[in-house]
Chain A
Amino acid sequence: MTALLEMRNITKTFPGVKALDDVSISVREGEIHAICGENGAGKSTLMKVLSGVYPIGSYEGEIVYDGDTAEFRGIRDSEDRGIIIIHQELALVPLLSIAENIYLGNERASSGVIDWHETFQQTEGLLAKVGLREAPGTKVDSLGVGKQQLVEIAKALSKNVRLLILDEPTAALSESDSQALLDLLLELKGQGVTSIIISHKLNEVRRVADSVTVIRDGATISTLDARGGELTEDRIVRDMVGRDMAHRYPEREARAGEVIFELSDWNAWHPEHADRQVIEDVSMTVRAGEVVGIAGLMGSGRTELAMSIFGKSYGRNVSGEVRMHGKPVDVSTVDRAINAGLAYVTEDRKTLGLILEDTIRRNTVLANLDGVSARGVLDEKRETEVAETYRKALRIRTPSVFQKVMNLSGGNQQKVVLSKWLFTEPELLILDEPTRGIDVGAKYEIYSIINELSAAGKAVIMISSEMPELLGMCDRIYVMNEGRFVGELAAAEASQESIMSLIVRDKGE
Chain B
Amino acid sequence: MEQAERAGGIGIGAYIARHIREYGLLFALIAIMLFFQIVTGGVLLRPVNITNLFLQNSYIIIMALGMLLVIVGGNIDLSVGSVMGFIGALAAVMIVNWDLPVGVAMIGCLITGMAIGAVQGYFVAYWKIPSFIVTLAGMLVFRGLSLWLLAGQSIGPFPQSFQSLSTGFIPDLFGIGRPNGLALAVGVAAAVLLVWFGLRARAQNARYGIEDEPWGLFVFRNAIVAAALLFVTWKLAWFRGLPNVLLSMVVLTVIYVFVTERTTIGRRVYAVGGNAKAAKLSGIRTERLTFLTFVNMGLLAALAGLIFAARLNTATPKAGFAVELDVIAAVFIGGASMAGGSGKIVGAVVGAFIMGVMNNGMSILGIGIDYQQVIKGMVLLAAVFFDVYNKNKEA
Q: In whole angstroms, how far apart are the Cα atoms of A334 and B274 in the complex? A: 18
Please determine whether A370 and B264 come into contact, CB atoms closer than 8 angstroms.
yes
Contacting chain A: which of B149-157, B265-273, B312-320? B265-273
**From residue B42, how far is it (CB to closest CB) to chain A in Å?**
44
Interface string of A361-391 (1 = CB under 8 A from B): 0100011011001001110110010000000
- Give chain A's interface residues, CB within 8 Å of chain B: 310-311, 313, 333-335, 337-338, 344, 346, 351-358, 362, 366-367, 369-370, 373, 376-378, 380-381, 384, 399-400, 402, 420, 424
Closest A residue by C-beta to B272: A355
B173 proximal to A (CB < 8 A): no
Which of A310, A355, A376 makes the CB contact (< 8 A) with B275?
A: A355
Please determine whether A378 and B281 come into contact, CB atoms closer than 8 angstroms.
no
**From residue B365, how far is it (CB to closest CB) to chain A in Å?**
41
Chain A residue contacts of B281, Cβ below 8 A: 310-311, 313, 334, 344, 346, 352-353
B279 proximal to A (CB < 8 A): yes
Please determine whether B3 and A399 come into contact, CB atoms closer than 8 angstroms.
yes
Q: List 14 A-B contacts (CB under 8 A).
A: A311-B283, A334-B282, A335-B285, A337-B283, A355-B279, A355-B341, A358-B270, A358-B341, A362-B271, A366-B267, A369-B267, A370-B264, A376-B264, A377-B263
Please determine whether A353 and B278 come into contact, CB atoms closer than 8 angstroms.
yes
Please determine whether B278 and A399 come into contact, CB atoms closer than 8 angstroms.
no
Chain A residue contacts of B204, Cβ below 8 A: 380-381
Which of B211, B267, B275 makes the CB contact (< 8 A) with A356?
A: B275
Q: 3 tightest CB-CB pairs across the interface, nearest first?
A: A335-B283, A355-B274, A399-B4
Q: In whole angstroms, how far apart are the Cα atoms of A371 and B167 in the complex? A: 45
Please determine whether B280 and A357 come into contact, CB atoms closer than 8 angstroms.
no
Q: With A366-B282, A376-B264 in contact, do A352 and B277 touch (Cβ < 8 Å)? A: yes
Chain A residue contacts of B278, Cβ below 8 A: 346, 351-355, 366
- Give chain B's interface residues, CB within 8 Å of chain A: 1-4, 7, 204, 208-211, 262-265, 267-268, 270-271, 274-275, 277-285, 341-342
Q: In whole angstroms, how far apart are the Cα atoms of A54 and B267 in the complex? A: 42
Please determine whether A400 and B263 come into contact, CB atoms closer than 8 angstroms.
no
Please determine whether A366 and B271 come into contact, CB atoms closer than 8 angstroms.
yes
**From residue B259, how far is it (CB to closest CB) to chain A in Å?**
9
Q: In whole angstroms, how far apart are the Cα atoms of A353 and B282 in the complex? A: 8
Q: In whole angstroms, how far apart are the Cα atoms of A244 and B268 in the complex? A: 46
Chain B residue contacts of A310, Cβ below 8 A: 281
Q: With A362-B267, A367-B282, A400-B4 in contact, do A377 and B277 touch (Cβ < 8 Å)? A: no
Chain A residue contacts of B275, Cβ below 8 A: 351, 354-356
Chain A residue contacts of B284, Cβ below 8 A: 334-335, 366
Chain A residue contacts of B4, Cβ below 8 A: 399-400
Q: In whole angstroms, how far apart are the Cα atoms of A250 and B270 in the complex? A: 39
Please determine whether A399 and B1 come into contact, CB atoms closer than 8 angstroms.
yes
Q: In whole angstroms, how far apart are the Cα atoms of A83 and B274 in the complex? A: 42
Q: In whole angstroms, how far apart are the Cα atoms of A310 and B1 in the complex? A: 37
Q: In whole angstroms, how far apart are the Cα atoms of A352 and B209 in the complex? A: 30
Chain A residue contacts of B211, Cβ below 8 A: 400, 402
Q: In whole angstroms, how far apart are the Cα atoms of A356 and B275 in the complex? A: 8
Given contact pairs A338-B283, A355-B279, a sample of 7 additional A-B residue pairs in the complex whose CB atoms are under 8 Å apart: A311-B283, A335-B284, A351-B277, A351-B278, A366-B282, A376-B265, A400-B209
Chain A CB within 10 A, most for which of B262, B267, B268: B267
Q: In whole angstroms, how far apart are the Cα atoms of A344 and B279 in the complex? A: 13
Q: With A376-B263, A376-B264, A402-B211 in contact, do A334 and B280 touch (Cβ < 8 Å)? A: yes
Please determine whether B264 and A373 come into contact, CB atoms closer than 8 angstroms.
yes
Chain A residue contacts of B210, Cβ below 8 A: 400, 402
Q: In whole angstroms, how far apart are the Cα atoms of A344 and B7 in the complex? A: 36
Q: In whole angstroms, how far apart are the Cα atoms of A373 and B263 in the complex? A: 8
Chain B residue contacts of A352, Cβ below 8 A: 277-278, 281
Q: In whole angstroms, how far apart are the Cα atoms of A293 and B339 in the complex? A: 38
Q: In whole angstroms, how far apart are the Cα atoms of A400 and B209 in the complex? A: 8
Q: In whole angstroms, how far apart are the Cα atoms of A233 and B275 in the complex? A: 44
Q: With A335-B283, A354-B275 in contact, do A378 and B264 touch (Cβ < 8 Å)? A: yes
Closest B residue by C-beta to A397: B1
Q: In whole angstroms, how far apart are the Cα atoms of A180 and B375 in the complex? A: 65
Chain A residue contacts of B3, Cβ below 8 A: 399
Closest B residue by C-beta to A358: B274
Closest A residue by C-beta to B265: A376
Please determine whether B2 and A399 come into contact, CB atoms closer than 8 angstroms.
yes
Chain B residue contacts of A334, Cβ below 8 A: 280-284
Q: In whole angstroms, how far apart are the Cα atoms of A351 and B210 in the complex? A: 28
Chain A residue contacts of B7, Cβ below 8 A: 399
Closest A residue by C-beta to B274: A355
Q: In whole angstroms, how far apart are the Cα atoms of A380 and B200 in the complex? A: 13
Which of A313, A354, A370, A424 makes the CB contact (< 8 A) with B280?
A: A313
Q: In whole angstroms, how far apart are the Cα atoms of A66 and B271 in the complex? A: 55
Chain A CB within 10 A, most for which of B210, B283, B284: B283
Q: In whole angstroms, how far apart are the Cα atoms of A420 and B285 in the complex? A: 17
Q: In whole angstroms, how far apart are the Cα atoms of A288 and B284 in the complex? A: 28
Closest A residue by C-beta to B337: A357
**From residue B292, how far is it (CB to closest CB) to chain A in Å?**
13
Q: In whole angstroms, how far apart are the Cα atoms of A168 and B271 in the complex? A: 37
Chain B residue contacts of A370, Cβ below 8 A: 264
Chain B residue contacts of A380, Cβ below 8 A: 204, 262
Please determine whether B2 and A420 come into contact, CB atoms closer than 8 angstroms.
no
Q: In whole angstroms, how far apart are the Cα atoms of A99 and B263 in the complex? A: 56
Q: In whole angstroms, how far apart are the Cα atoms of A335 and B283 in the complex? A: 4
Chain B residue contacts of A353, Cβ below 8 A: 278, 281
Q: In whole angstroms, how far apart are the Cα atoms of A12 and B187 in the complex? A: 68
Q: In whole angstroms, how far apart are the Cα atoms of A369 and B2 in the complex? A: 31
Chain A residue contacts of B342, Cβ below 8 A: 357
Please determine whether B341 and A357 come into contact, CB atoms closer than 8 angstroms.
yes
Please determine whether A378 and B267 come into contact, CB atoms closer than 8 angstroms.
yes
Please determine whether A369 and B268 come into contact, CB atoms closer than 8 angstroms.
yes
**From residue A414, how far is it (CB to closest CB) to chain B in Å?**
14
Chain B residue contacts of A354, Cβ below 8 A: 275, 278
Q: In whole angstroms, how far apart are the Cα atoms of A354 and B279 in the complex? A: 8
Closest A residue by C-beta to B258: A377
Chain A residue contacts of B285, Cβ below 8 A: 333, 335
Chain A residue contacts of B271, Cβ below 8 A: 355, 358, 362, 366
Q: In whole angstroms, how far apart are the Cα atoms of A358 and B271 in the complex? A: 9
Closest A residue by C-beta to B286: A334
Chain B residue contacts of A362, Cβ below 8 A: 267, 271
Chain B CB within 10 A, most for which of A344, A357, A384, A420: A357
Please determine whether B279 and A366 come into contact, CB atoms closer than 8 angstroms.
yes
Q: In whole angstroms, how far apart are the Cα atoms of A369 and B272 in the complex? A: 14
Chain B residue contacts of A311, Cβ below 8 A: 281, 283
Chain B residue contacts of A333, Cβ below 8 A: 283, 285
**From residue B256, how far is it (CB to closest CB) to chain A in Å?**
14
Chain B residue contacts of A384, Cβ below 8 A: 208
Chain A residue contacts of B208, Cβ below 8 A: 384
Q: With A352-B277, A352-B281, A357-B274 in contact, do A377 and B1 touch (Cβ < 8 Å)? A: no
Chain A residue contacts of B262, Cβ below 8 A: 377-378, 380
**From residue B309, how far is it (CB to closest CB) to chain A in Å?**
34
Chain B residue contacts of A420, Cβ below 8 A: 282
Chain B residue contacts of A367, Cβ below 8 A: 282-283
Q: In whole angstroms, how far apart are the Cα atoms of A369 and B285 in the complex? A: 13
Closest B residue by C-beta to A344: B281
Chain B residue contacts of A344, Cβ below 8 A: 281
